[in-house]
Amino acid sequence: MLPLLLLLLSLLCSISTTLNAQSTTTINVWPKPTNLTWTPPHQTTLLSPTFTIITTTSHQNNHLTAAINRYTNLIKTEHHRPLIPPTKNLSNNLPPLQLLTVTVTDLNAELTHGTDESYTLTVTSPNATLTAVTAFGVIRGLETFSQLAWGNPTRVAVDVRVTDAPLYGHRGIMLDTSRNYYPVKDLLRTIEAMSMNKLNVFHWHITDSHSFPLVIPSEPLLAEKGAYDVNMVYTVDDVKRIVEFGLDRGVRVLPEIDSPG
């Protein structure tokens, strides 16, 4: 019994030492990027109250604009406190981070299997840069950047460079709303969580033999007779909202509609 107790104490001490070392030398970005470097002395600086994300293009992309607005608000208001703080070295000599400049090569690229989602993020003080081929690469990079900001007041790791690209083109989950109905708000919450984990495909198994919750205007009896309840349905507007919500977060919604049997 005593040897086992000593072994456990030794293991706990080892873990504690490792965590303490990590808290001052590493940044825990999820999922782990292809490459991340944080140049010593591992400094952080404050996020400026006037922090802004801008793009270098005058052309419009609705998904890009939505992502920039969403992450600007998130970074300024979330005040995330990680379980293992990346650093305690808050520099008083560095100016606050003022600006993140986004550069995109192809604003017309659609989100399909094989779409380029790579990005390069460089954070220095007082400015940072994010470059990507597509708007969906920018969305991945903004998620990474948001994880480099934490605390209240918000501080940001500087002298950081991240180059990242997904290992797999299809990274997703399947949700069956035929056997178990989920309200629209729960589907949106799921897609939001997927985006935070850089997943890109939401396989939505809408209908099956168990229920038919999809309202089809040309065949209204399918939902009237096939849904579990009159309130447990998805309208055309619901589907449009879910698909657009997903695209704004780099998640492709793939509806599966089985024929009534």
Query: Which domain CATH number covers 44?
Result: 3.30.379.10
Residues 63 and 110: beta-carbon distance below 8 Å: no
- 232-245 mean pLDDT: 98
Domain span at 92: 29-164
| Cα–Cα distance measured from residue 204 to residue 191, given in angstroms and rounded to the nearest whole number | 11
Model pTM? 0.87
CATH number, domain of 249, equals 3.30.750
Same domain, 105 and 53: yes
Same domain, 152 and 176: no
| Cα–Cα distance measured from residue 111 to residue 252, given in angstroms and rounded to the nearest whole number | 7
Buried b (16+ CB within 10 A) or exposed e, 92-105: eebebbeebebebe
Q: Residue 259 — pLDDT band, cuts 50, 70, 90?
A: confident
Looking at residue 92, its pLDDT comes to: 65
Query: Is 240 within the bounds of a domain?
Result: yes
Query: Is 137 within the bounds of a domain?
Result: yes
The answer on pLDDT for 15 being more than 50 is no
Torsion over CA of 187, 118, 158 and 21, rounded to 10 degrees? 80
Percent residues over pLDDT 90 in the chain: 78
Same domain, 35 and 140: yes
| Domains contained in the chain, number | 2
Query: Is 74 within the bounds of a domain?
Result: yes
Q: Residue 80 — pLDDT band, cuts 50, 70, 90?
A: confident
- Per-residue pLDDT tens for 125-164? 999 999 999 999 999 999 999 999 998 899 999 999 999 9
Same domain, 63 and 160: yes
Domain boundary residue, one of 164, 199, 219: 164
Domain boundary residue, one of 118, 135, 164: 164
Query: Is 13 within the bounds of a domain?
Result: no
**Average pLDDT of the chain to the nearest whole number:** 90
Would you say how long the chain is, in residues? 261
Same domain, 122 and 206: no
Using CB atoms within 10 A of its CB, is residue 135 exposed (0-12), middle (13-18) or buried (19+)?
Answer: buried
Nearest Cα to Cα of residue 28 among 17, 18, 36: 36
